[in-house]
C-alpha cells in the first residue's frame, strides 16, 4: 500500500472514531479495552496523533515521550481530538517524502512509516470506539488488513519489546483466507523475539486462520481468533502476551 492510501485511511478512520465516541458517550465502557471508558480512548488516541505529528512537523531525529493526557472532557475533549487529528492529516499530506525524522520500524521513508503506523493505530482504536456503541463495526478492507498483519508480525513483534516468548521452539501459523488470495505467515517462537517469515516455511504447532479483517483484529486482541487448529496453548500465549509497547 502506498503512502497516499495510508493517509486517506488516517483521515477516514479518525472521523469515524470521533463520530462513534460522540454517539457512545464519553462515559461509556469500551468492551475491547475493559479498563477504559470512551474518554480514555479519545485522550490516548489524540495524544498519539499529536506525538506522531511532532516528529514530522519538527523533524525530530531522537525519541521523545508524548505529551500528557489532557484533563478536558465533554465537547471540549472531542474538539481537541478533532484538532489534533486534522493536524496529523495535514502534516502527513505536507511532509516531503525525503524528510528525515525518528521512527521505530524499518520503512521506505519516515513519512511512509508514520502514515502506515497512524493508519493502523487509528483503525484499531476506531473499532474500540465503535464497540462502545454496541453497533456493527465498520468494515476493514482486506488488503489493508493484510498490510496491518504484516506490520504487526514483521515489524512490531520483531522488536525486543515483544513479550511473545516460548521456553522451547514452537511455530505458529497465521493464515488469511481472502485478501484477495490466501496469505500465510510462519511465526517462530522461542526465548527471543518472534521471527516471522512470509509463507508456510515450517510445520506449524498451531494455526490461526480466518478472513483477513477478522484475523487482523484478533491479532490485536480485539476479537477471538476465527479458527484455531493444533495446539490451542500457542493461540492463548499470543492473547496473553502480545500487548504492544510502542517504543
For 131-164, write each residue's pLDDT tens digit.
Answer: 999 867 899 999 999 999 999 999 999 999 999 9
- Pick left, alpha or beta for residue 34 (phi over 0 → left; psi -120 to 50 → alpha; otherwise beta): alpha
Backbone phi and psi for residue 30, each to the nearest 5 degrees, phi listed first: -105, 105
Give the predicted TM-score (pTM) of the model: 0.96
Last-in-domain residue among 88, 114, 133: 133
Residues 6+ apart with CB under 8 A from 13: 119, 122, 123, 126
- The mean pLDDT value of the chain amounts to 96
Q: Is residue 227 part of a domain?
A: yes
Of 125-129, 218-222, 241-245, least confident by mean pLDDT is 241-245
Separation between Cα atoms, residue 171 and residue 169, nearest integer Å: 7
Q: Would 187 be classed as within a structural domain?
A: yes
Asked whether residue 247 carries a pLDDT value surpassing 60, the answer given is no
Q: How confident is the model at residue 245 (pLDDT cuts 50, 70, 90)?
A: low
Nearest to 246 by CA among 56, 65, 40: 65
Supply the range of the domain harboring residue 226.
160-242
Cβ contacts of 147 within 8 Å, gap of 6 or more: 1, 116, 120
| 112 and 26 within one domain | yes
**CB hemisphere CA count around 82 (13 angstroms):** 13
Q: Domain check: are 55 and 129 in the same one? A: yes
Weakest-pLDDT range from 2-11, 38-47, 61-70, 83-92: 61-70
How many domains is the chain partitioned into structurally?
2
What is the gyration radius of the CA atoms in the chain, in angstroms? 18
Q: Give yes or no for residue 80 having a pLDDT over 80.
A: yes
CATH classification of the domain holding 97: 1.20.120
Amino acid at each position: 500500500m502506498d503512502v497516499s492510501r495510508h493517509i486517506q485511511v488516517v483521515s477516514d478512520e479518525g472521523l469515524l472514531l470521533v463520530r462513534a465516541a460522540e454517539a457512545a458517550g464519553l462515559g461509556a465502557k469500551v468492551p475491547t479495552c475493559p479498563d477504559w471508558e470512551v474518554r480514555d480512548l479519545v485522550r490516548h488516541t489524540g495524544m498519539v496523533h499529536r506525538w506522531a505529528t511532532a516528529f514530522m512537523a519538527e523533524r525530530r531525529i531522537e525519541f521523545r515521550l508524548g505529551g500528557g493526557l489532557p484533563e478536558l472532557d465533554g465537547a471540549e475533549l472531542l474538539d481537541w481530538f478533532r484538532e489534533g487529528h486534522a493536524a496529523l492529516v495535514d502534516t502527513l499530506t505536507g511532509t516531503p517524502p525525503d524528510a528525515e525524522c525518528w521512527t521505530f520500524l524499518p520503512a521506505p521513508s519516515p513519512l511512509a512509516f508514520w502514515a502506515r503506523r497512524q493508519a493502523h493505530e487509528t483503525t484499531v482504536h476506531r473499532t474500540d470506539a465503535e464497540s462502545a456503541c454496541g453497533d456493527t463495526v465498520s468494515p476493514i478492507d482486506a488488503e489493508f488488513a493484510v498490510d496491518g498483519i504484516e506490520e504487526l508480525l514483521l515489524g512490531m513483534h520483531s522488536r525486543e519489546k515483544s513479550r511473545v516468548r516460548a521456553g522451547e521452539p514452537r511455530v505458529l501459523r497465521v493464515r488469511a483466507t481472502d485478501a484477495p488470495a490466501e496469505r500465510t505467515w510462519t511465526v517462530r517462537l522461542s526465548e527471543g523475539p518472534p521471527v516471522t517469515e512470509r509463507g508456510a516455511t515450517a510445520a506449524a504447532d498451531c494455526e490461526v486462520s480466518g478472513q483477513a479483517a477478522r484475523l487482523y483484529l484478533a491479532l490485536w486482541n480485539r476479537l477471538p481468533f476465527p479458527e484455531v487448529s493444533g495446539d490451542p496453548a500457542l493461540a492463548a500465549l499470543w492473547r496473553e502476551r502480545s500487548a504492544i509497547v510502542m517504543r
